[in-house]
Chain A
Amino acid sequence: MTEPNRRDAQPTDAGPPWIRADGEAKATGQARYTADLAVAGLAHARLLLAGRAHARIVRLDTTRARAMPGVLAVLTQDDVPDRRYASYGLVADRTLFARDVVRFEGEVVAAVAALTPEAATAAVAAIDVEYEDLPPILDVEAALDAASALVHDDAAAYRHDPNIVSGGNLASRSTIVKGDATAALATAPIVVRERYVADMAHPVPIEPHSVTAEWSGDRVTIHSSTQVPFAARAGTADALDLPEHRIRIVVSHLGGGFGGKCDFHFEAHVAALARAARRPVRLVLSRREEFIAPDKVTHAMVVDLETGLASDGTILARKARLLLDCGAYASDTPAIGQVAAMMIAGPYRIPDLEIEALSVYTNRTPSGSVRAPSGPQACWAVEQHHDVIAARVGLDPVEFRWRNLVRDGDEGPTRQRHEGNGARETLELAVERALAGPPLGPDEAIGVASGWWFSMPGPSGAFVRIESDGSGRIVTGAQENGTGAVMALPILAAEELGMRPEDFAITYQDTDSGPYDGGSSGSQTTFNNGRAVVDAAREVRRQLLELAAQALEANIDDLVLADGAVAVTGSPDRRVTIAELASTAHSGALLLGRGSGSPPELPEHDSSSCVGRFGFEAFASPTFFCHAARVRVDRATGLVRVLKVVAATDVGRVVNAPGAVGQMTGGVVMALGNATLEGTVYGADGRQRNASLLDYKLLTSADAPEIEVHFVENPASNGGPRGAKGVGEPPIVPTAAAVGNAIAAATGARVRRLPMTPERVWRALTTGDDGAAEGNAPLGPRASTATPTGATVPAAPAGATSR
């Protein structure tokens, strides 16, 4: 049921401005976020975090803390059910509080509830802990050595998903294999090998994590700043050994997430504190805690690439090995390794592939599903690699991509059939628009990068009902993290019911009222919950038409539902309004629909040669995109100024243009931060050195460039409503790669270390050191001054080689 392609669909197509229903409350300060809620009798929680990367707990004594004035409860692992929990059922490697060993500096050792925040802080300081420090395991390559010490001595005993391939410090291994890459590379006329290394980065929502828990009998209500209320409920139920129906998770308003608030975090700690303190308890993380404690940061990655080419630039084969720094606990990283492998294949025609992704335990803050997890790093590596190999075969980077990007009907990495020509159309559009700007100045250049990202089919539910006065309500399990995806659901219900979006109110992000949804993760709200809302609205539509057929004494097939009324075709005076029908219904069968959106299957594919499969062995309804970045490089300082970014994206169908544009502009600027500024610096002691916004810089309004947004529409045959594909994550994926390519085009120096900070750019310019040889090892005690500035070009495999 594909509709025709529309190229360069513009935001103005949407008509009058879309005003988000939660906007006025947010603009006036009325909107209550979790930390704003007034709660009578509230007590305050503080966490004792390990403060060291790897140590054995020799003694943990809370006696002094418990005796302090104003202290209501002090909890350790001895006070909660003795069980390990898993993120999304992957690896049950974690307890609420550290037991015997701490494995990263942000690990929770104990928690306090007290009458005031000051008393809680004092009590945390009075907890006596004696540690025996262990050497931190920080280098992913060294950690894979058979002789390496282990982050988890007892990993083999952990309950885990049957698809996980693991052992030692290897948390999970996934492969994407097609054909015989070894044989194809052996005969390829040209082979290019390179290494790229990316640092860890942070999601940095402006609202830190916050949780408030209050018990009423055997039920607990938890207000949490979570993106995934149902996953948070499942985690709390698992960790505290409670049935899910006794736990209610409510998100009042969420101050951004970007993946950092996916998964289950501190809900169970606070619920346990509230039970012990016998009063409501609130935890609000400090910004420093926000950096080190939640198990969601972007993966530090080491990417080794080897691509075989024909002399005309046709890609023949690729081998790649990716090391993802998983951090101290698996979180959802095992599944993300498979995503990373698919991203290294990309939307390119490559006959033979052998890509291996290894997720490795270290003593760092656990990684996880930050916005498009692994996508930006993988795309940054492989799309710079593509510019390098284009140059190697004497092709313009755009021409190289044009020849090799997938077209309608081409097969993907596991032989899924691609739909549409979005990959090439977005390239064409982004380049055309980027070249339309003023002529390039000195040390300026334009870089491009293409890519793809999956939509994420999943179960999701919604109810639609019509109230007695004819106004509508959507009751959904979906979560609004700020993108506007939930706020846009009325557009879909209104279309089905001949009503206006503003006729609907929305009840959302409360696990007691809405049916299950996967939360604001995986760009899935419109894709999955949108389908559920459409299904529910269609059920109400049938109910309305049946009532109208009786009221108008007409055949149901002759009725038209539009503009708030049902009319008989050809007899516009024979009509009855939805309000009149609703009034009738409220004396009998209610106008009430339900939908669960039946998630589409993955496209047909062959992943029989792949291991570590977690549902990403084919990409469902992939979004295609290309970004073009115009940059200027200051050769004296290495400072990269991004002047403009053109973002062209095939989102299937734009459902809410202002919302989609907002994802693009926001995603690009977040990506530019990741590209040029944002990277976590670790000391040799395994502690973060820049866990504050003073030292970990985001782009400001003064740094952010002009962003030009374009959409291409190739509706997905098995996609979301109207053929929509995921929108929230794609814009963060290709920008850093486009910037890297622009830096190289402007200066001739390629930076193979992310972020591409001024220091690294300057070093690449002046010494030829591309940064990749540093690996992901931490800084030495004085490494920043001890680094030789005259370092030679690193040994292979960095840099392009050929035979």
Chain B
Amino acid sequence: MPELLQLTVNGLPLSAMIEPGRTLLRVLRDDLGRTGTKEGCDDSECGACMVLVDGRPVNSCSYLALQASGREITTVEGLASADALHPLQRAFLEGGGIQCGFCTPGMLISAAALIARDPDPSDEAIRDGLAGNLCRCTGYQPIVAAVRRAAAEMRGDPV
């Protein structure tokens, strides 16, 4: 029997009638039209589906949509403000952190969660913090540098 799901996605209250077995990833993509979040493996291994649930990063492919009832979800579409990209998005763009772009939404979400809990992460902390997000294109080095730079900018340090 479908159940009513009510949640907030990128600040917007939304609701949908869903079968209880459906994942947050499928509901975001198929019911709510938020296709920025990607499916790469359906196994919690690649991280392309990562979103923030009340600020905590989760693999939405392995998270039941109903678990998100009443919670605040942030997807990649929610990072930029109306008039400016998020510092992470800009740093990824300018630093070669984006090639095919398929890992980018999850990578950005992981990075945002990392900086929220550690505003001044070491390179090692960045590499550990992004270890749940696979990228096949960049070799990670430009992404690590971009996160370092965005974190500095968000702290107000010179970059």
Contacts and interface: CB of A to CB of B under 8 A. Distances in A.
Tell me, yes or no, whether A binds B. yes
Interface of A: 17, 19-20, 22-33, 35-36, 38, 204-208, 253-258, 284, 286-287, 481-484, 658, 661-662, 664-670, 692-694, 698, 700-704, 706-707
B101 interface: yes
22 contacts: A25-B101, A26-B100, A27-B85, A28-B79, A28-B85, A29-B36, A29-B75, A29-B76, A30-B77, A36-B35, A38-B33, A205-B100, A206-B100, A207-B38, A253-B100, A255-B100, A661-B96, A662-B137, A701-B133, A701-B140, A701-B143, A702-B130
Among all A-B residue pairs, the 8 with the closest Cβ atoms: A29-B36, A482-B100, A26-B101, A255-B102, A665-B139, A693-B45, A669-B139, A36-B35
A22 B101 contact: yes
B144 interface: yes
A662 B142 contact: yes
Contacts of A204: 136
Say what secondary structure dominates the interface of chain B. Answer: loop
Contact of B141 (A254, A481, A704): A704
B95 interface: yes
A297 to B, nearest CB: 15
Contact of A669 (B35, B41, B103, B140): B140
Interface in B106-159: 108, 126-128, 130-144
A668 B137 CA distance: 10
Contacts of B95: 17
A27 B45 contact: no
Q: How large is the interface on B (under 10, 10 to 19, 20 to 34, 35 or more residues)?
A: 35 or more
Contacts of A701: 126-128, 130-131, 133, 135, 140, 143-144
A37 to B, nearest CB: 9
Given A29-B35, A29-B37, A701-B133, A662 B104 contact: no
Contacts of B143: 701
Contacts of A19: 93-94
B134 to A, nearest CB: 5
Given A26-B104, A28-B79, A38-B33, A256 B137 contact: yes
B136 A205 contact: yes
Given A207-B40, A692-B45, A28 B139 contact: no
Interface in B1-50: 29, 33-43, 45-46, 48
Output the residue of B42, B136, B144 with the most chain A CB within 10 A.
B136
B36 A255 contact: no
A22 B98 CA distance: 9
A253 B38 CA distance: 13
Contact of B140 (A28, A208, A257, A704): A704
A694 B131 CA distance: 14
A702 B143 CA distance: 12
Given A661-B96, A668-B139, A207 B102 contact: yes
A698 B138 contact: no
Interface in B48-98: 48, 75-77, 79-80, 85, 89, 92-96, 98
Contacts of B99: 256, 482-484, 662, 666
B28 to A, nearest CB: 11
A118 B26 CA distance: 13
A28 B36 contact: yes
Nearest to B123: A706
A665 B135 CA distance: 12
Contacts of A706: 141
Contacts of B104: 26-27
B78 to A, nearest CB: 9
A667 B136 CA distance: 9
B141 A256 contact: no
Nearest to B133: A701
B11 to A, nearest CB: 15
B57 to A, nearest CB: 14
Contacts of A667: 139
A29 B136 contact: no
Contacts of A36: 29, 35
Contacts of A481: 100
Given A254-B100, A256-B102, A700-B131, A27 B89 contact: yes
Nearest to A36: B35
Contacts of B94: 17, 19
Contact of A287 (B42, B85, B136, B144): B42
Contacts of B43: 287, 692-694
A137 B39 CA distance: 35
A669 B141 CA distance: 10
A707 B35 contact: no
A23 B98 contact: yes
B139 to A, nearest CB: 3
Contacts of B140: 665, 669, 700-701, 704
A575 to B, nearest CB: 33
Given A205-B100, A706-B141, A24 B93 contact: yes
A698 B104 CA distance: 17
Contacts of A254: 100
B138 A666 contact: yes
B38 A28 contact: no
Given A29-B35, A38-B33, A256 B100 contact: yes
Contacts of B77: 28-30
B46 A693 contact: yes
Given A662-B137, A667-B139, A693-B46, A20 B76 contact: no
B38 A33 contact: yes
Contacts of B144: 701
Contact of A255 (B35, B37, B38): B38
B127 A31 contact: no
Contacts of B128: 701-702
A713 to B, nearest CB: 20
B117 to A, nearest CB: 17
